[in-house]
A and B are shown apart, each in its own frame.
Chain A
Amino acid sequence: MKKIVFLLAALLMLALSCAAVADSISMAVIYPDTVDDKGWCQSMDNAIKKAIADGYEIDYTPVESVAAADAPNTLDQLAENYDLILVHAATYTAATIEIAAEYPDQIFALGTSDKLLGENIFTYMPMSEETGYINGIIAGMTTKVNKVGIVGSTDGGDSYRYVRGFIKALQETNPDAEYMLSWTGSYSDTVGAGQIGQTFIDAGCDVLVGPAQQAIGALRIVDAADGPVWIGQTTSQLTDFPGCVLAAADYDYSAVVKGVIDRMAEGKTGNECIPLNYNNGGFIYTFSENAELLPEDVKAAAQAAIDNLTAAPNTVDYNSIVLE
């Protein structure tokens, strides 16, 4: 009798574990860089782990440092084995559209893009003009020489939005402030970003900003110089360089990850863009605790702007900005 009870209990446990596995979503994510880059890729990796911690059952497989040329082959292999393939770079867009068409039953999520790309493709787009806007307010209020430097990556995607959102707020907050802008033409040219940072400092800029993972190169130059400050785009910049970083906005992609999975549970398969903004908790803004670096009135103005954007998303008219 004991043996039968034991056998039944074992079968029950097996059945339960199988059910649990069946409920979980197998998800592969392809990254252009490593998941510990303290930037773009790490933000998504952290978001997926956060979603898992919040109770989402995800069987997560990261595929790192995938070159754009290898994307079609990588996606082809992943599509065979995963329920959801998240493609975390716009450089893989063409490959994603091509492979998604070959696997209509698999679901893909591609970022960053705000376009509708297919019945089985979700897209996601950080509304980076919102983080740029907040950084622009802080830059406009803290520059003492009215000269601000923007270390650009490429003029596309969320970087396009960030730069224009930043300039809009800078001009609204401090009409006397001038900005200098240079692009490296890459997201990962750390040395080039450093060179631009040095150019801006030598030209007299006292506040610098920059999107993309390459920004660390410029940030190190700012940190080494005595005087200029940086407004960052990931919280780790704030913790690693507390002496020169005024504030930083983190991207919390868990809003995207959860959004895709929730929609899949509702039976949706794609053809929708999921935004990342203050309103859905996609951006988390952190201020420096150092009052000498960041005065209370500046912090209050930035916080008020965040509250406004949380209440009324997509209200920064970044397209009205024409670069000089």
Chain B
Amino acid sequence: MLDFIILFLTVGIPLSSALLLASLGETVNQRSGVFNLGCEGIMSMGAFVGMLIPFLVGGSGKVAWYVNLSGLVAAAAVGALLGLLFGVVVIRFSAPQGIAGIGMQLFATGLAGSLYRHFIGGAQGVAGIDALPIPFLCDLPIVGKMFFSCNPMVYFAFLMVPVVHYLLFKTPWGLRVRACGTMPRAADSMGIDVSRTRYQALAFGSAMAGLAGAYLSVCYAKIFTDTLIGGRGFIAVALVYFGRWSPVGVLGGALLFSLAQALQLAVQAYGFSSFPYEFLVMLPYILVVVVLVFVGKSKHVGPAMLGKAFNREMRT
């Protein structure tokens, strides 16, 4: 039984990283009052751009670490650009955020697939970034393999939890972001440029989504396909509600979903269940919906002006 528990934890933790990165980014832009359903598409573009640079330099072979790093930086940059483009639509032109987000998702996913076929094509992969066991710690029994033999991006994702918490709750910028999401008119009267702050939050959030996509293509699957993201962008948006707009809550949500996913695979593999596999495949999604129902009754409230455009010339 212990082997079984270790197995699903070892498999589940790395996969939580993509959700964690995207959800942390989404937390920031939702805190500013903008929710981005285009996260899925931005992750797809990040996945493509992240592997494009190492592929162009070294094909499917090994490349220097800084080439892979360049891919990750480029993925974040492209994510930020798409976030700013989304910002122009929903902040400058006050388009409904939900509809604009779906548009961004379709646009970016399609663009990533088209560019992939033009520049790479086929089912090509990259050598990508390998796991980085931490000396001594990786040799610890049980936890060594679970926590200290991971990909560098897994460490980075978990490190971003306190970083984003600090940014949101301990810095003047974080205070401005939260003010813009909760009472933008009051923030405006205090001299805060609401639009600029929301652009900044969107750029940050979308850069994180781009990185999350690049994690999947450069560090995990080491390949790009049109369906690589597989709905994880939408799950990331849901996890922000799940985590009640708190980085620590989002971490819990990402871990819960990923571990549930790993658990259902392990249950299938060990043949513990006589349920049809379709039910097991649904399990993580059902879990998220059930938890969201209960979390919705929580006393913690979200950004009051989430999803609402701000126009300083109007009273609403």
Which residues of chain A have a CB within 8 Å of any CB of chain B?
33-34, 36-39, 42, 65, 149, 152, 155, 180-186, 188-192, 194-196, 198-200, 202-203, 213, 216-217, 220, 224, 236, 240, 324
Contact = CB atoms under 8 A, between A and B. Distances in A.
Contacts of A65: 113, 226
B159 interface: no
Contacts, number: 100
B11 A198 contact: yes
A106 B78 CA distance: 47
B216 A191 contact: yes
A108 B238 CA distance: 42
Interface stretch (B119-127, B175-183, B308-316): B119-127
B281 A38 contact: no
Interface in B42-75: 60
Interface residues of B, number: 36
A199 B11 contact: yes
B270 A184 contact: no
B277 interface: yes
Chain A interface secondary structure, helix, strand, loop or mixed? mixed
A191 B130 contact: no
A185 B221 contact: no
Contact of B277 (A155, A188, A191): A155
B68 to A, nearest CB: 15
Contacts of B225: 37, 188, 190, 216
A190 B224 CA distance: 9
Nearest to A191: B221
B172 interface: no
Contact of A195 (B11, B123, B227, B228): B11
Contact of A190 (B8, B117, B223, B269): B223
A217 B278 contact: no
A182 B122 CA distance: 26
A178 B7 CA distance: 18
B223 A216 contact: yes
A42 to B, nearest CB: 8
Nearest to B14: A198
Nearest to B231: A189
8 contacts: A149-B269, A182-B265, A186-B227, A190-B221, A190-B227, A195-B11, A196-B269, A216-B225
A191 B269 contact: no
Given A155-B277, A194-B220, A220 B125 contact: yes
B223 A220 contact: yes
Nearest to B278: A185
B259 to A, nearest CB: 12
Contacts of A196: 265, 269
B227 A194 contact: no
A195 to B, nearest CB: 6
B269 A194 contact: no
A182 B269 contact: yes
Given A190-B227, A191-B15, A183 B221 contact: no
A236 B121 CA distance: 14
Contact of B226 (A34, A185, A200, A216): A34
Interface string B1-37: 0010001101100010000000000000000000000
A217 B281 contact: no
B265 A189 contact: no
Nearest to A324: B271
Contacts of B223: 190, 216-217, 220
A183 B261 contact: no
Contacts of A183: 268, 277, 281
B230 interface: yes
